[in-house]
Every structure is written in structure tokens, then in C-alpha cells.
Amino acid sequence: MSDPDVTPDAPSDLPDSDLMENVVGLCKRRGFIFQSAEIYGGFRSTYDYGPLGVNLLRNVKNAWWEAMVQRRDDVVGLDAAILSPPAVWEASGHLSNFTDPLIDCRKCNQRWREDKIDGVCPNCGSTEFTPARAFNLMFKTHAGPVENEGAVAYLRPETAQGMFINFVNVLQTTRKKPPFGIAQVGKSFRNEITPQNFVFRTREFEQMEMEYFVPPAEAQHWFEYWLDERFSWYTGLGIPADQLRLRHHGADELSHYSAGTADVEFLFPWGWDELEGIANRTDFDLKAHAQASGERLEYFDQVANERYVPYVIEPAAGATRTMMAFLLAAYHEDEIAGEARTVLRLHPKLAPYQVGVLPLSKKETLEPLARSVLTSLQPHFMCDYDVTQSIGKRYRRQDEVGTPWCVTIDFDSLEDHAVTVRDRDTTEQVRVPIDQLVAELRSRMDQA
Ligand code: ATP
């Protein structure tokens, strides 16, 4: 791993200022991300993921699940409920602590998070504000037909508590022993005061979190282990290491439960900002839920004949925020034979489509063969079948959405039973026999 701690904060490090506009424009134009309820004027801070965005987001989550669950024998998965009773959030500390300091500008009445502005109203430049008050970020609702206090429920503001309250269920049903983890991917909700920067900070978003339960004496070791693992996950999927850094929290910044936290940060167009927080949550959560519920949330080590409450190391990432970082890092404009093109250099595992299947002509003679190539690829890859416009235009369209390989079926294919495979990044084209196509693309995928 490079030394991400020392990456400077200088403004000259900021990416091209048009980048954000270009990526947001591409997302809308090509169907990655739409403003939610757009036909009604839009609903602030909520977004819908279109046909390409849903593939990309799903691939981000699958890549995380593969690394965090599938390829490990010490981590299992969970999918807990989004609606939860106040008792959970009382015990976790969220009812009293999950707040942001809210201030109002006395001149223009705009509301801000005190810790996110520099003492000057970003709207009108005034320095006169109301005193800060704590604003709880949880969405409150009612379960059932009666809207009284007894029916209050909350939409979870993080997935993590699902893992703590199911700790004993998982322990008993899987026979895991520390160090072991429980991973979850799913929606979380926060009533953010100032949602901003496209899908970077929204009120409804998706998280990818893992709680790794360890013997207390090993907590520091595992904290450092997960810092390395998580940093490498982003670089392994194509984010250049110089656009990433690890930033350790100062003592005054630590959450109420944390004995140490570091963020994986990405160089966004507005500067360094968080993709993921990795925290040593100590035994705070298990002890708090044990005390509030009266249940024993412990591990009994039969060999040592001792009972203890594990410490927890938590890598907590945002799926939607991470997807945005992958898009920003992948966006490039270059030239092919003197012609400008936009290309998303997404890792093939993340690309919305892995393969574009393009019959050279719409003529009926090519259609049956092209369709049979498509059906032979579909069990293995997400494919886009495109017959409209010139082949050059179709290549550009696939480049723009990050499709790593295009397969072209031409009139020679009817004779030699081979197709042309074009690479998105090098634009190199090679002829591949149709009966070797799946193996060829799979091997390229494995090498990516
Ligand atoms: P921030 O300081 O940006 O508000 P946080 O430190 O409160 O975030 P965590 O509670 O550590 O965030 O959540 C883990 C991850 O969930 C974050 O690193 C981020 O990727 C994602 N996340 C948190 N809040 C949001 C949000 N409002 N919109 C999108 N993603 C979010």
C-alpha cells in the first residue's frame, strides 16, 4: 500500500472542475441516475437509479459482498429489517447522540450544519446565526394504524445495529467464533440538514457494513488489518491510489463509541471527502444492548474457559457514494484516430454491461447468428444488444457507458464462425471463434 496519509490537501490536487458537471450530465443522458419524482418537479435529495445505474450499483454491492463474504470463511451475511423500535436506538445512543448542530442564518433564514460551514452563510455571506441546537437525524414514523407514542418506529440510520442485535442468533446458528464478522448491505435513512453533491449525501442511501467481532486484546491488530484490506478494495477495482487516502480521526472527532477511527477518503471535485469509515467500536454496542435488553451478548471461549464481550472493528462504506466515486474516477475524454470520445474506464466487474453485441448490419441474414451469440453470452455476462446506427457510433455509445468489450458479428462471421472482439481501452480488435468466445471473455475478465 502507498502512504495515503501524506497526500497533500492542496487545491492543485483537485480534479478538473468540469468533471462533476460532465458526470452528472452523463448519468442523466445515459440512464444511470434520475432525479426522483422528476415529472412532479423533483423531490430534493432523492434519486432513482436507471437501467445502467442499477447495474453499476448492483455490481458495486456484489464486488463488496464477494470480497467481504464470499471469499472469506470468517464472515457471514445478514439482511435485517429497516423499521425498528425505539429501544434499539435508545440503547445504541442514537436517540440522544445522533445529532448534527443546526444553525439558522439570521439574515436569509437558511439552515446549515454548523460544522460544515466556515462561519459565513454560504447563501448570503452573513455571519449572524442563531445559537446551534442539536437536530436528530433519524426519520421517525408510526407502525400500525395508531399514531401515538407507543407506535413510534424509526427507519434505521445505519445497518450496523442489525448485526449487534442479531449477534447471539448468528453465533448460535453458525458456530462462528471470534474473530468473525457479520456483513450487511442495505438502505439507511438520515434526515440530513444539507444533502448535497448529487448522490454523495442523500437522505435515503445504501450502505455496506461489516461488524468484525474480535477478542479485545486483538482489536488494534484487526483495526489495522481492515484499514489495509479496505484501501486495497478500492484500488483493486480501479480507483488510482493517488486519488485515495486514509485519514485518522483526531480525539475530538471520534464518535461516542469509538476508540479509533480512520476514513478512506476520495479526491472528489470539491476536495477530499469520506467514502468509508473504519472504526474500533470497542464493546460499546454489545454491552449497551445487553444492558438494555437483559440478554447475554457474550462469547464463551471453551478452550480458555472464559466468557467475554468481543470488541468490534467496523468497516462502514456507502454503496451509492462509492458508486459515484467509481464514476468520477472512470470518466475520461480522449481521442481515437483524431476523433474525440468520452470513455468510462470502469473495471469490467463494475461496468453496467460487460459486453456489447453488435451485428454489423440490420440485414436479416446477420440477425439469427447475432442473436445466437447474444444468448450464448447472456448466462455469463450482462450484455447490451445494439443494432441502430453506424458501428463507429455504437462503439462510442458503449465506450461512454464503460462497456469493456464489444463483439461485432459481420458477414464473414457466417463463413468463418468467428467474431471481432474490440477492447474499450486500447480499441484493439481481434478475431475470435464463436465457440471460444465465452472462454476468451471470461479469461479477460479474470485478468482485469
Ligand atoms: P458524513 O460525515 O459524510 O455525514 P458519517 O461519518 O456520518 O458520514 P458513517 O456513519 O460512518 O458516515 O456511515 C458510513 C458510510 O455511509 C459513509 O462513509 C458514507 O459512505 C455513507 N453515508 C453516510 N451518510 C450518507 C448519506 N447521507 N448519503 C450517502 N451516503 C452516506
Tell me, yes or no, whether 242 and 382 share the same domain: no
- CATH code, 423: 3.40.50.800
From 102, 191, 205, 245, give the residue whose CB has the most ligand 1 atoms within 8 Å, as the site to mutate: 205
Tell me, yes or no, whether 323 and 357 share the same domain: no
Within 210-253, where are the H helices?
A: 219-236
Tell me, yes or no, whether 64 and 191 share the same domain: yes
Tell me, yes or no, whether 304 and 432 share the same domain: no
Reported as type and span, the H/E element at residue 282 is: strand 271-282
One-letter identity of residue 139: F
**Residue closest to 366 by CA, chosen among 374, 354, 376, 355:** 374
In a domain, 102, yes or no: no
In a domain, 5, yes or no: no
In a domain, 6, yes or no: no
**What was the pLDDT predicted at 258?**
84
Q: What is the mean pLDDT of residues 54-69?
A: 98
Going by pLDDT thresholds of 50, 70 and 90, the confidence category of residue 347 is very high
Tell me, yes or no, whether 299 and 202 share the same domain: yes
**What was the pLDDT predicted at 193?**
85
In a domain, 399, yes or no: yes
Residue range(s) defining the domain that contains residue 361: 353-447
From 112, 137, 200, 274, give the residue whose CB has the most ligand 1 atoms within 8 Å, as the site to mutate: 274
Q: Say which DSSP state 105 is in.
A: B
**What was the pLDDT predicted at 316?**
98
In a domain, 217, yes or no: yes
Tell me, yes or no, whether 202 and 275 share the same domain: yes
Tell me, yes or no, whether 367 and 232 share the same domain: no
**What was the pLDDT predicted at 15?**
53
Where is average pLDDT lowest: 7-21, 154-168, 173-187, 264-278? 7-21
Within 237-318, where are the H helices?
A: 284-293
Residue that is written with C-alpha cell 437536530 in the block: 135
One-letter identity of residue 175: R
From 321, 322, 326, 328, give the residue whose CB has the most ligand 1 atoms within 8 Å, as the site to mutate: 321
* Mean pLDDT rounded to a whole number for the chain: 93
Task: State how many domains the chain has.
Answer: 2
In a domain, 32, yes or no: yes
Q: Which residues approach ligand 1 with their CB closer than 6 A?
A: 158, 190, 192, 201-202, 205, 207, 274-277, 316-318, 320-321
Share of the chain above pLDDT 90, in %: 84
- CATH code, 214: 3.30.930.10
In a domain, 145, yes or no: no
- Judge contact between 207 and 62, C-beta under 8 A: no
Tell me, yes or no, whether 390 and 294 share the same domain: no
Question: What pTM value is reported for the model?
Answer: 0.93
In a domain, 306, yes or no: yes
Domain end marker among 277, 293, 327? 327
pLDDT at residue 16 greater than cutoff 80: no
Strands of 284-386 (E only): list them.
Answer: 299-301, 306-308, 311-318, 331-336, 339-344, 355-359, 383-385
Tell me, yes or no, whether 215 and 283 share the same domain: yes
Dump pLDDT digits (tens) for 291-341: 999 999 999 999 999 999 999 999 999 999 999 999 999 999 999 888 899
Q: Residue 230: what are its φ and ψ, rounded to 5°?
A: -70, -40
Tell me, yes or no, whether 323 and 361 share the same domain: no
Dump pLDDT digits (tens) for 63-89: 999 999 999 999 999 999 999 999 999
263 CA distance to ligand 1 middle (Å): 10
d(CA 393, CA 390): 5
Beta strands 261-268 and 271-282 are antiparallel
Going by pLDDT thresholds of 50, 70 and 90, the confidence category of residue 362 is confident
**What was the pLDDT predicted at 443?**
97
- Judge contact between 156 and 82, C-beta under 8 A: yes
Most confident of 12-21, 128-137, 347-356: 347-356
**What was the pLDDT predicted at 7?**
33
d(CA 185, CA 207): 6
Residue that is written with C-alpha cell 464503460 in the block: 402
**What was the pLDDT predicted at 9?**
35
Q: What is the mean pLDDT of residues 138-156?
A: 94
Tell me, yes or no, whether 263 and 169 share the same domain: yes
Domain end marker among 327, 345, 368? 327
Non-local (6+) Cβ contacts of 310 within 8 A are 178, 213, 214, 215, 216, 283, 286, 299
Burial class (CB in 10 A: 0-12, 13-18, 19+), 241: middle
Look at ligand 1, atom 3, and give the residue with the nearest C-alpha: 274
pLDDT at residue 10 greater than cutoff 50: no
Dump pLDDT digits (tens) for 231-259: 999 999 999 999 999 999 998 888 777 88
Tell me, yes or no, whether 208 and 64 share the same domain: yes
**Residue closest to 59 by CA, chosen among 212, 208, 196:** 208
Share of the chain above pLDDT 70, in %: 96
Q: What does each C-alpha distance from 165 to 88, 185, 263, 289, 290 come to in angstroms?
A: 8, 16, 25, 7, 9
